[in-house]
Amino acid sequence: MIQGRVTGRIWSSKHIETLPGGALLEVALEGGGSLIALDPLGCAEGESVLVTQGSVAAGYFTGIKAPIDALIIGSIDET
Amino acid sequence: MIQGRVTGRIWSSKHIETLPGGALLEVALEGGGSLIALDPLGCAEGESVLVTQGSVAAGYFTGIKAPIDALIIGSIDET
Amino acid sequence: MIQGRVTGRIWSSKHIETLPGGALLEVALEGGGSLIALDPLGCAEGESVLVTQGSVAAGYFTGIKAPIDALIIGSIDET
Amino acid sequence: MIQGRVTGRIWSSKHIETLPGGALLEVALEGGGSLIALDPLGCAEGESVLVTQGSVAAGYFTGIKAPIDALIIGSIDET
Amino acid sequence: MIQGRVTGRIWSSKHIETLPGGALLEVALEGGGSLIALDPLGCAEGESVLVTQGSVAAGYFTGIKAPIDALIIGSIDET
């Protein structure tokens, strides 16, 4: 998995039907670069998150073949 | 997923039989680089798009084992 | 697989339900960069480890669709 | 998918049994780098090709678990 | 697939139970970087090899969910 920080959100009104509900968050990655991850946890901008990638991200969704290759699986505790 | 912008289209007259119909679009990626993604949405040149990669891209197609590792899953709203 | 060295650990109190138990370790990779891998072996900070990535990492877990794309599969012998 | 150009061919006399027949072509990628892709289409050196990667490349082969992670799926029309 | 050259071997006495037998070889990749690949062919140090990555590497093993994401599938003929 990779660590990142939520920097924003995108919206897509025109999308394929199998896109699951949930926020599409922009995540700046540790080490550089960024991606868009689906967020089932309700994370806020600035939150540090753990992202999983690839087919295991899609495996989170049941009863649908979700076209998701990046999923926020946790918020990282910061102390 | 990754964000990108449609910059062109390619054609392939000679291809394997399991290549699904649909436009093969050139997408310039945020952060650099580019790829070719299959577009089921009818996106136009210059449009900002959301691309999923890997086996989940192929999972969009039913009744066929599509050899597709990059799929446009949405157009990103721009305001 | 890739080689790396354990440099720390993260905690995630708020996470999706299918995240398996086990330590989430920060691993600095040979060649640069880092990732977070689930550790079923109880590795210590500073230990040299072998990490597998992608859907095969999730395949380690049975009876659950684990959202894990990086798994420590061995500790590398150092002499 | 990624675009590339065929630059050569390799041979492997000693290989695992599940390697399918077909040419193993060297492909120089747009944007830099290169890979070896299996070619079911009979492409020639210098030809511009479309390559798919990952498990979907292996899915092209039926009745065998082919250890193929890169497949030429089309020749790109050049005008 | 990618080309590389065997540069060494690692041992892992402490590993998960599903790690298959076979040598874990260090492979320096064409274009830079290195990885650890499982070798079912008995390749020697200095040998030029063809490596497949991802879940198709694990598919080589039957009757076990092998946590292998890199497999040597052939030795490249050198003349």
Asked if D65's CB is within 8 angstroms of E57's CB, the reply is no
What lies within 8 Å, CB to CB, of B79 at 6+ separation is: none
- Choosing among A14, A52, A65, which should be mutated to test the B contact, i.e. which has the most B CBs within 10 A? A14
Q: Which of D54, D78, D64 is nearest to D22 (CA)?
A: D64
Task: Compute the nearest-CA separation of B15 from chain A (Å).
Answer: 24
Q: Which residue of D has its CA nearest to B20?
A: D73
Q: Which residues of chain E have pLDDT under 70?
A: none
Closest residue in C to A43 (Cα–Cα) = C14
Decide if B69 touches D, using CB distance below 8 A.
yes
Report residue E56: phi and psi, to 5°.
-65, -25
Interface size, chain A vs chain B, as Cβ–Cβ contacts under 8 Å:
73
Give φ, ψ of A17 to 5 degrees. -70, -25
User: Is the CB of A77 less than 8 angstroms away from the CB of C10?
Assistant: yes
Mean pLDDT of chain C: 97
CA distance C38 to C21: 9
pTM: 0.97
**pLDDT score for D20:** 96
Q: Is-contact E12 E21, C-beta < 8 A?
A: no
Cβ <8 Å between A24 and B50: yes
Q: What is the ipTM metric for this complex?
A: 0.96
Angle E50-E55-E58 (CA atoms, 0-180°, nearest 5)?
75
Secondary structure (3-state) at C30: coil
pLDDT for the residue numbered C49: 98
Min Cα separation D74/chain E (Å): 17
Q: What is the pLDDT of residue A79?
A: 79
Residue B79 has a pLDDT of: 79
- Taking CA–CA distances from B59, the nearest residue in chain D reads D56
Does residue A46 have a pLDDT over 90? yes
Q: What pLDDT, in 10s, does the model give residues A26-41?
A: 999 999 999 999 999 9
Tens digit of each residue's pLDDT (9 = 90 or more) over C16-45: 999 999 999 999 999 999 999 999 999 999
Q: E19-44: b or e for each residue (b if 16 or more CB lie within 10 Å)?
A: beebbbbbbeebeeebbbbbbbbebe
What is the identity of the amino acid at E34?
Answer: S
Give the distance from residue C51's alpha carbon to the nearest chain A alpha carbon, in angstroms: 11
pLDDT, one tens digit per residue, over B38-48 is 999 999 999 99
Relative to beta strand B14-15, strand D70-75 is antiparallel
Q: Which pLDDT score is estimated for E22?
A: 92
Residue for token pair 């990628």: D29
Distance CA C59, CA C52 (A): 11
For the segment D8-27, the average pLDDT, to the nearest whole number, is 97
Closest chain D C-alpha to E14 CA, distance in angstroms? 28
Rounded to a whole number of angstroms, the distance from the CA of B78 to the nearest CA of chain D is: 26
Alpha-carbon span E71 to E38, nearest angstrom: 5
Put simply, whether D20 touches B (Cβ < 8 Å) is no
- pLDDT, residue D79, reads 79
What pLDDT score does C79 carry?
79
φ, ψ of residue B76 to 5 degrees: the values are: -85, 125
Answer yes or no: is pLDDT of D16 > 90: yes
Please compute the mean of the pLDDT values over residues B6-28 and round it to a whole number: 97
Which residues are D35's β-sheet partners?
Answer: D27
- Is A71 in CB contact (< 8 Å) with chain C? yes
pLDDT of the residue at E79:
79
Beta strands C2-10 and C14-15 are unpaired
Average pLDDT over residues D4-14: 98
Q: Confirm or reject contact between B44 and chain A (CB < 8 A).
A: no
Question: Does C33 contact A at CB distance below 8 Å?
Answer: yes
Provide the mean pLDDT of chain A.
97
Q: How many helices (H) and strands (E) does chain A have?
A: 1, 6
Q: How far apart are CA E17 and CA E10, in angstroms?
A: 17
Domain B2-75 belongs to what topology?
OB fold (Dihydrolipoamide Acetyltransferase, E2P) (2.40.50)
User: What pLDDT is attached to residue D61?
Assistant: 95
User: Residue C70's closest chain A neighbor by CA?
Assistant: A1
When CB atoms are compared, the residue of E11, E54, E67 closest to C60 is E67
State mean pLDDT over D13-41: 97
Token output for C34? 């880092």
